[in-house]
A = this chain, B = another copy of it.
Amino acid sequence: MTDNMLPIQPQFRIFLSNLERQMSDEQKEIWIPKAERFEIFGSYCQTELGHGSNVKGIETTATFDAETDEFLINSPTISSTKYWIGSTGVWATHGIVVARLIVKEKDYGNHLFLVQLRNLDSQEIMPGCEIYELGPKAFQGMLGTDNGALTFHHVRIPRDQMLARNAQVLGDGTYIPPKNLKHSYGSMVTVRALMAEITGWDLLKAVTVAYHYTNFRKQFSRSGNGHESPVFDYASVRYRLLPLLAKATALVIVSQAIKRAYEEYTAKYLRTDDISQLEDLHLQTVGAKVYSTEITGYGVETCRIACGSHGYSALSGFGRMYANSINAVTYEGDNFVVAQQVPRAILKHFKAGTESSIPSLSYLSVLRNATTPQPLGIRSPSDWLKRDSQSFILEQQVAILVQQHMEDTKAGRDTSYACHALTMAHGDFVYWKGLWEVVDNIPSGEVYKGSMVALAQLFSLSIMTSAHIVLCLPLTLTAAQRASLRLAYDAVIVEVAGKHAQNVINAYGFTEFELDSALARSDQSPYEALLEGAQKSEMNHMQHLWPMMVDTRKMWRRAQRDIQKGGVKSKL
B residues less than 8 Å from A319 (CB atoms): 137-141
CA distance A556 to B50 in the complex (A): 38
State the number of copies, please: 2
Which of these, B132, B336, B557, contacts A540 with CB under 8 Å? B132
A417–B348 Cα gap in the complex (Å)?
A: 42
Task: Give Cα distance in the complex from A310 to B539, angstroms.
Answer: 32
What chain B residues lie within 8 Å of A547 (beta carbons)?
123
Taking the closest CB of chain B, its distance from the CB of A391, in whole angstroms, is 21
Most-contacted residue by chain B among A149, A419, A553, A556 (CB, 10 A) = A553
Contact indicator B236/A39 (Cβ below 8 Å): no
- Could you tell me if B47 and A309 are in contact, using CB atoms closer than 8 angstroms? yes
Q: Which residues of B contact A365 (CB under 8 A)?
A: none
Contact status A135-B537, CB under 8 Å: yes
In the assembled complex, how far is the CB of residue A546 from the closest CB belonging to chain B, in whole angstroms? 4
- Give, as a whole number of angstroms, the nearest-CB distance from A498 to chain B: 14
Which A residues between 456 and 491 are near B, CB-CB below 8 angstroms? Answer: 469, 472-473, 476-479, 482, 490
Contact surface of A with B, Cβ cutoff 8 Å: 37-41, 47, 49-54, 57, 78-79, 81, 83-84, 89-91, 93, 120-124, 132-141, 146, 149, 218-220, 222, 228, 234-236, 238-240, 301, 304-305, 308-309, 311-316, 318-319, 322-323, 326-327, 329-331, 334, 336-337, 413-420, 469, 472-473, 476-479, 482, 490, 525, 527-528, 530-531, 533-540, 542, 545-547, 549-550, 552-554, 556-557, 560
Kindly identify which residue among B138, B141, B240, B528 contacts A78, using a CB–CB cutoff of 8 Å: B528
Name, among A134, A149, A329, A546, the residue most crowded by chain B CB atoms within 10 Å (CB to CB): A134
The distance in angstroms between the C-alpha atoms of A554 and B549, with both chains bound, is 53
A527 with B138: CB separation less than 8 A: no
Measured CA separation A430–B482 after assembly (Å): 26
Candidate in A38, A327, A416, A477 with the most chain B CB atoms within 10 angstroms: A416
Give the distance in Å from the alpha carbon of A91 to the alpha carbon of B549 in the complex: 7
